[in-house]
Amino acid sequence: MKIARFRSNGRTAFGVVQGDEVVEIRGSIFTRFRLTDTKHSLQDVKLLPPTEPSEIWCPGLNFANHLEFAAGVLGDENPTVPEHPEPWIKARGSLTGTGEPIVLPSDSTDVHYEGEAVAVIGKLCHRVTIKDAPKYILGYTCGNDVSDRTWQKDDWTFWRAKGADTFAPVGPWIDTDVDPQKLEMIVRLNDEEVQHGYTEEMLFSFAEIVSYISQQVTLRPGDLVFSGSTGVTVALKPGDKVDVEIPSIGVLKNTVKAEAA
């Protein structure tokens, strides 16, 4: 099932995507809901970020083929494979949806895409085991962990490097019926493939990351947990178009523009 959050005629609603339509629901996507008779053409609605999370979590260095590149960004000449997940929080204000622009801050210098898969928490999650963690995940969507490499290297934390406004595009919807460790992730920059990876290559699975975070921090319905990024990335510039595709889910589409003077 594909669950979308959208706006139509000034009203925000959730619905189930069926072909080229979205059928409105009544109830909560986190508990129970039913389909209504109200349908909209997808081309006539504005797709929004699939949830309104209280927190957005990302794991650092979760793919071996990204480890050396990321370590170079941070100035680490001898990167080592982490022994456990290294999660951190991406600013809530960085969230944006498909079809919205990624805005390059006026004083940014080296902003990159990072196409990823994203888990959507479905219910209150505290001190869960790795085995039970999947029961607390509603589904999965596409995400882009946009990052300024200069700030990432120069600052003590990732507060602006990864948390600037619009630096967390997520969408287009949640898919509840995919195998999270069998997802293909493709990034296209101006229609040219620039990143290609698979969640089966994650050093720590979604279940391991969610379980690890939940030992100290309670995850709430709608919270987002990114997979981490693969390979090498390049800088974005105004006018670029970035697509993050997970074939079994959909395509997250964003353009890039400079911050207004």
The reply to whether 215 and 225 lie within a common domain is yes
- The pair of three-digit structure tokens given for residue 165, joined into one six-digit string: 């406004």
Closest residue by Cα to residue 148 from 254, 247, 73? 73
Same domain, 34 and 98: no
Residue-level pLDDT at 73? 60
77 and 35 inside one domain? no
CATH of the domain at 1: 2.30.30.370
More confident residue, 82 or 22: 22
- Shared domain for 77 and 89, answered yes or no, is yes
146 and 243 in a common domain:
yes
Give the pLDDT score at 81. 80
Confidence of residue 221 (pLDDT cuts 50, 70, 90): very high
Does residue 129 share a domain with residue 6?
no
Range of the domain at 8: 1-48
Residue 174 contacts residue 3 (beta carbons within 8 Å): yes
Name the percent of the chain lying above pLDDT 90. Answer: 90
Range of 62-66, 69-73, 76-80, 153-157 with top mean pLDDT? 153-157
> Has residue 149 got a pLDDT over 70?
yes
Specify the CATH number for the domain of residue 131. 3.90.850.10
Q: What percentage of the chain has pLDDT greater than the value 70?
A: 95
Q: Are residues 111 and 22 in the same domain?
A: no
Whether residue 22 is found in the same domain as residue 111: no
Mean pLDDT, range 150-179, rounded to an integer: 96
CA distance 167 to 144: 8
Q: What is the mean pLDDT of residues 150-160?
A: 94
Type of residue numbered 129: T
Of 49, 104, 108, whose CA–CA distance to 255 is shortest? 104
Q: Are residues 78 and 15 both part of a single domain?
A: no
Position 69 confidence tier, pLDDT thresholds 50, 70, 90: low
DSSP 8-state assignment for residue 261: -
DSSP assignments along 124-150, one per residue = -B-S--TTTGGGGEEEEEEEE--EEHH
pLDDT tops 90 at residue 61:
no
35 and 58 inside one domain: no
Identify which has the larger pLDDT, 78 or 181: 181
Q: Is the pLDDT of residue 79 over 90?
A: no
- 77 pLDDT higher than 70: no
- Residue 71 pLDDT more than 60? no
- Tell me the mean pLDDT in the region 40-57: 98
pLDDT at position 168 over 90: yes
Residues 109 and 2 grouped into a single domain: no
Summarize pLDDT for 251-260 with one digit per residue, the tens: 999 999 999 9
DSSP string, 204-247: S-HHHHHHHHHTTS-B-TT-EEE----S---B--TT-EEEEEET
Number of folded domains that form the chain: 2
pLDDT > 80? residue 75: no
202 DSSP 8-state letter: B
Do 243 and 134 lie in one domain? The reply is yes
